[in-house]
Chain A
Amino acid sequence: AQSVTQPDARVTVSEGASLQLRCKYSYSGTPYLFWYVQYPRQGLQLLLKYYSGDPVVQGVNGFEAEFSKSNSSFHLRKASVHWSDSAVYFCVLSRMGYAQGLTFGLGTRVSVFP
């Protein structure tokens, strides 16, 4: 069975500070990994995704994530956050060959304060 763990339910940061959101996955095969963001009262939007190649992937709005096979991790980072980054961030795993068998983490709620 596969699983995604986001150990931090809530993170609070000051505007302009850096942000790192942790994600650990468990899956015996090769995973597709995504980060989605959910702004208040909206649907989820894709930030970035990874399957192979350079373990550091760039996403929208200055976000990047780093894949580590040895650590089974896919952490999300941003160098300098803005108040508009306040949202819930979901780490998501997809299994190859299984029609959209998405496994979601529980999400991390990020609050950015001025």
Chain B
Amino acid sequence: NTKITQSPRYLILGRANKSLECEQHLGHNAMYWYKQSAEKPPELMFLYNLKQLIRNETVPSRFIPECPDSSKLLLHISAVDPEDSAVYFCASSQSTISNERLFFGHGTKLSVL
């Protein structure tokens, strides 16, 4: 799926700051950040619709999302914790209507030293 691109694919961090990037080429209005820990289903972190943050689940304050335009999504991470080791998926959908399918990127695998 090259219609949603995420970078980087792999990230190894100590207690540094870093940003994950996502861009979708589908013309969708809604964009999401999901966290998937090992052997678990994805968990919603943030949801933007038309560049507005409309869902902000219980996420540590060291994770800060940004939506600079409707096709791009960033996730800024500061002072990572070992519990943050996971795969972070960006996803998009045409709208936030309940029956809309989500399109997922390949994910960024974050490993915290």
Contacts and interface: CB of A to CB of B under 8 A. Distances in A.
Interface stretch (A38-46, A68-76, A77-85): A38-46
A105 B99 CA distance: 17
B47 A99 contact: yes
Nearest to A104: B41
**Chain A binding surface SS class:** loop
A95 interface: yes
Interface string A24-53: 000000001010000001111110010100
B51 interface: no
Q: Most chain-A CB neighbours within 10 Å: which of B54, B99, B100, B107? A: B99
B55 A43 contact: no
B93 interface: yes
B54 A99 contact: yes
B98 interface: yes
B41 A43 contact: no
Contacts of B1: 42-43, 45
A105 B42 CA distance: 10
A104 B44 CA distance: 10
Given A99-B47, A100-B44, 6 more contacts: A41-B106, A41-B107, A43-B89, A44-B89, A44-B102, A100-B93
Interface of B: 1, 4, 30, 32, 40-42, 44, 47, 49, 54-55, 89, 91, 93, 96, 98-102, 104-107
